[in-house]
Structure 1
C-alpha cells in the first residue's frame, strides 16, 4: 500500500487492482484516517514489510490462538457484522432491517459516509 493511494480529505483509499481486475475506491472511517495520520512516513510504502512476514505472523497467531481454520479474509466479514450490530451501515450496504447482505460492498462513492440507518423498514 502506497501513501499516494490514501486521500485523507475524501476519507478514501484507492486499491489500484482489486480482485475483479479493476481499481476500487473504498471509504475509510475517521479512526482509520487518524491511524494513517499518526504513522511515520519513511518512503512511499505505508507498511514497509514483506508479504511473507505478514503471512508468517498470521500463521503464528492463528496457531497460538488455536484457530487453525481462521482465514485472514474472515476478519473482513467479522468487521462488517460488528458494524451492522452496532447499528451502522456502510455505503453500498443495505440500510433497512431485514435487508442485511452477508457480504455488503463498502465502496466509496460521492458523499459516501458510514452512517446510522434512518430506514424503519419491516
Structure 2
C-alpha cells in the first residue's frame, strides 16, 4: 500500500488539514495521477480486480488514520457519535471532485476550507 504520514498536529482540525493535503498530493501527483484517473474511470483493470484494489487501499488508509480520531476523541474534539469515515469521505470527496472529476487545480488553502466546511462546529 501507499505509504502515508499520520499527522499529529495537536488538533483534529490540523490533522485533517494535513491528511487532506496528502489526498490532494495523491490525486494530483505526477506518479499517481494516472492510477487515480483509472480508478475513477474504472478503466484498465477488470471490474472485480479494480474493486478489490480500491477496497483494500481505502480500508488500509482508514485503518492507519484511526489514531487521528482516537486522539481527537480523547481531547473532546469530536461530538459523541461522530462518524470518522463519513468525515473522511466528505473531505476526500471534495478533493477528488475538484481534482479528478472536474480536472481543476487544488488551490492553496483548499484543504483548510474543506475541513472547516465539514468539521462539526467549525463550518
Fold shared, TM-score > 0.5 on shorter chain: no
In terms of fraction of residues, the more helix-rich structure is: 2
Higher Cα Rg, which structure: 1
In terms of fraction of residues, the more strand-rich structure is: 1
Normalised TM-score (structure 1): 0.26
Which of structures 1 and 2 has the larger relative contact order (alpha carbons within 8 angstroms, sep 6+)? 2
Normalised TM-score (structure 2): 0.26
